[in-house]
Amino acid sequence: MAASGVIVFGFIVVHILGNLQLFAGPEALNRYAAFLQGLGPLKWAVRALLAASAAVHIVTAVQLTVQNWQARPRRYATIRYRATDYAARTMWIGGPIIGLFVIWHLLHLTTGHCHPAGQFAADSNGIINVYNSVVIGFMDPAAAAVYILAMLLVGLHLYHGLWSMMQSIGLNHPGWNHWRRWFAVLFAAFVALAGISLPVAVLTGFVTPA
């Protein structure tokens, strides 16, 4: 779970930081998107690695959940959470919602099937106006709300994932756990807020179509 999680979340962190170029204007974001599209076979290799990692992550998550249920077939009469916390308890519902979000997100901003502007066409230089696709997409408050909710769930998932991953690699010591928790909180909050800043910037009129 930890290895596949690192790959998937590594992509999300780079993806969100890359999309912050929305604030630098259409040329910067469209150039970045055209660069990624131009990577050819490397792009497909990364996509394959990402799809395989996501599949491994989902399968191991289901196995872990089933093992946990089998370890305690009868529910506790009273549940008192100790080592676990809110993020940990919501992983099993957050994960599938993030999965559904990704499917809709691909239809929204990659293929354009669920986008008000329809499927995206390239200009005479072969460049797709990704900047306008994102901005016009976020001008719909319902779509913007979906992104904000998804980024909150991604933040929660990332927080718990980071915390557990550090435990898996042995970074678990009563003296450090305080710092481990703060690192996970700050990193996850930064990524979530960076993602949320994009739809909020469009909804407030700070970023407008080119």
Q: How many residues does the chain have?
A: 210
Considering the complex, what minimum distance in angstroms separates the CB of residue 170 from ligand HEM?
28
Window contacting ligand HEM (CB under 6 A); options: 11-19, 66-74, 164-172, 175-183: 11-19
Span 28-57, contacts to ligand HEM by CB under 6 A: 33, 36-37, 47
Burial 107-118 (b: 16+ CB within 10 A, else e): ebbeebeebeee
Match 């370890």 to its residue by tokens: 71
Count of residues that interact with ligand HEM, criterion CB under 6 A: 21
Q: How far is the C-alpha of 95 from the C-alpha of 58, rounded, in Å?
A: 8
Q: Are 182 and 159 in contact (CB under 8 A)?
A: no
Lay out the site mask for ligand HEM across 166-185 (x = CB under 6 A, - = otherwise).
--------------------
> In the complex, what is the shortest distance from the CB of residue 131 to ligand HEM, in angstroms, rounded to a whole number?
9
Q: Could you give the CA distance from residue 28 to residue 203 in angstroms, rounded to a whole number? A: 21
Q: Which residues 103-142 are close enough to bind ligand HEM by CB under 6 A? A: 105-106, 109-110, 130, 134
Structure tokens at 131: 């900047």
Write out the H or E segment, with its range, that includes residue 39. none
Answer yes or no whether residue 195 interacts with ligand HEM by CB under 6 A: yes
Q: Is 102 in the site for ligand HEM (CB under 6 A)?
A: yes
Under 8 Å between Cβ of 161 and 5: yes
Please report how close the Cβ of residue 181 comes to ligand HEM at its closest, in angstroms: 23
The identity of residue 62, as a single letter, is V
* 192, 152 Cβ separation under 8 angstroms: yes
Does 147 bind ligand HEM (CB under 6 A)? Our answer is yes
> What mask of x and - would describe binding to ligand HEM in positions 53 to 92, judged by CB under 6 A?
----------------------------------------
Measured between alpha carbons, how far is residue 134 from residues 59, 72, 106, 168, 203 in Å? 31, 46, 12, 37, 12
Question: Tokens in use for 166?
Answer: 């550090």
Exactly one of 10, 14, 15, 107 binds ligand HEM (CB under 6 A); that residue is 15
Question: Which of these ranges, 10-18, 66-74, 86-94, 170-178, lies near ligand HEM under the rule CB under 6 A?
Answer: 10-18
Binding residues for ligand HEM, rule: CB under 6 A, are 12, 15-16, 19, 33, 36-37, 47, 98, 102, 105-106, 109-110, 130, 134, 147, 150, 154, 195, 198
